[in-house]
Every structure is written in C-alpha cells, then in structure tokens.
Amino acid sequence: MLDIHRKLLDQKHVEEDQRTLFRYFCEAILVLRYFQRPEAVKAFKASDWINKRNVDGRIHMEVQSTKQSATFSLTEEDSAMLDAYFQKIRPGCLQDSVDDQGRFFLSKQGLPVGNVTSDLRRLHEQYELPKFSSQQARRAQSTMACSSSDEPADGRRVRKQKRGRGAADQYDRDFGAFLLQFPATASSSPPTKKKRIRCGVSI
C-alpha cells in the first residue's frame, strides 16, 4: 500500500485495480483499526472528512450521517492514507450523470460503495489473510479491553462464565493476539502464513 500511496502523492499513474485495492484498504483502516461498523463507513460523507479537526496530534472525526453518530480519532499516518484517497482517487470517480450522495467512498462508476463487508473480504482474499468480520474485530477489542482492565482476575473470571460464549471467547482472544502481533497500519504489510505460525498466532 505504501507503494501505491507514494505513486499517488508523486502524481504517477496508478492502475484501476490498484486504486480499488487502495480504497478497500482505507475502508479496512476504519473497520478493523478503529472498529467502525460497515454501515457507518458506508454512510461516511465527504463533508465529514472536510470538517475533521486536528486535536493533540490526532485527526478527530465526527461522522454525523448515520443513525447513531460515530466519533473517533485517527493517527496522522492513517489520516494521510485516507486523504490520499480523497484527494487523488475519489475525484476520478465523480461523474456528472451519477448521484454520489456526497459519500466519501465511491465505486469506480461514481456510485456510493454498496457493501463494505464484501470489499474487506476481497482485500483479505487478495493477500490471503484470515477471514474475520467487523463484529469479530469489535468483540476482540472488547475482550482485550476487559482483560487489561484493573478489575480483579476473579471478577473477570465470573463475568466471563456468565457470558457463556466458550469457543467464541477463545476466538476473540486469538484475534486480539493477531491484532497485537500484526497491527493494520499504513506502513505494515500482510503477514505470511509462515510468519503467523512462527509468531504463534493460530488464525
């Protein structure tokens, strides 16, 4: 992705399939790194991006175009990736005869992206990554947050027993371990299966 990003900034030619892949990656940043629901990413508008604010070195976002507004803060690195899409790729998708509805993410035909979940699946298939959903990512975040809290271990154990999710909890912990070992950043590259096994990540 860094190579595509560099080409975009240098005004070099980027193939259509690479532009689409870069869009998938930007969607994945919001869903898997910032735990936004696919519906919120789909509804994300250009005006939300234009109105972003820099707060203490992070890019503060308020997405007001969903039934339940979303608020999150991007790192400058992730913000640079989304801005490259907005400045270098999105304008080429706009068409006079198509209503883009002011959405941030557009297909190459100029229409609002229809299915963020499908886009993420295509990204995973492209790099042969383990398949996981946005719901699993959010559950992993919740599980990791609970595990690292100041709550006594006995209290966490009782609460987990009440939840009664068994294998699902184990999968969440496995996915949490995956995120810790291989965080999805603008400068990271997809881990190979051999590397995942070597690091003891089972998914």
Euclidean distance between CA atoms 89 and 82, whole angstroms: 10
Query: What proportion of the chain, given as a percentage, has pLDDT over 90?
Result: 55
Contact indicator for 188, 182 with CB cutoff of 8 Å: yes
Other beta carbons within 10 angstroms of residue 42's beta carbon come to: 21
pLDDT value of residue 153? 46
pLDDT value of residue 175? 55
Query: End-to-end alpha-carbon separation of the chain, Å?
Result: 23
Encode pLDDT of 71-101 as tens digits.
Answer: 899 999 999 999 999 999 999 999 999 999 9
Contact indicator for 52, 73 with CB cutoff of 8 Å: no
Strands 53-55 and 58-63: antiparallel
More confident residue, 188 or 45: 45
Q: At what angle do helices 2-9 and 76-84 cross, to 10 degrees?
A: 60
- Can you tell me whether residue 71 is helix, strand or coil? strand
Contact indicator for 113, 27 with CB cutoff of 8 Å: yes
Euclidean distance between CA atoms 161 and 180, whole angstroms: 25
pLDDT value of residue 157? 45
- Can you tell me whether residue 108 is helix, strand or coil? coil
And the tokens for 142? 């919740």
Euclidean distance between CA atoms 203 and 199, whole angstroms: 11
- Can you tell me whether residue 164 is helix, strand or coil? coil
**In the predicted model, is pLDDT for residue 45 greater than 80?**
yes
Instruction: Give the Cα-Cα-Cα angle 130, 18, 132 (nearest 5 degrees).
Output: 15
Encode pLDDT of 141-181 as tens digits.
Answer: 566 555 555 544 444 444 444 444 455 455 445 555 555 56
pLDDT (average), residues 59-71: 80
Q: List, in order of start, the domains of the chain with CATH numbers.
A: 2-127 (1.10.443.10), 134-198 (no CATH)
Encode pLDDT of 99-148 as tens digits.
Answer: 999 999 999 999 999 999 999 999 999 988 777 666 666 676 566 555 55
Contact indicator for 112, 100 with CB cutoff of 8 Å: yes
Residues in the chain: 203
pTM: 0.70
**In the predicted model, is pLDDT for residue 23 greater than 50?**
yes
More confident residue, 54 or 195: 54
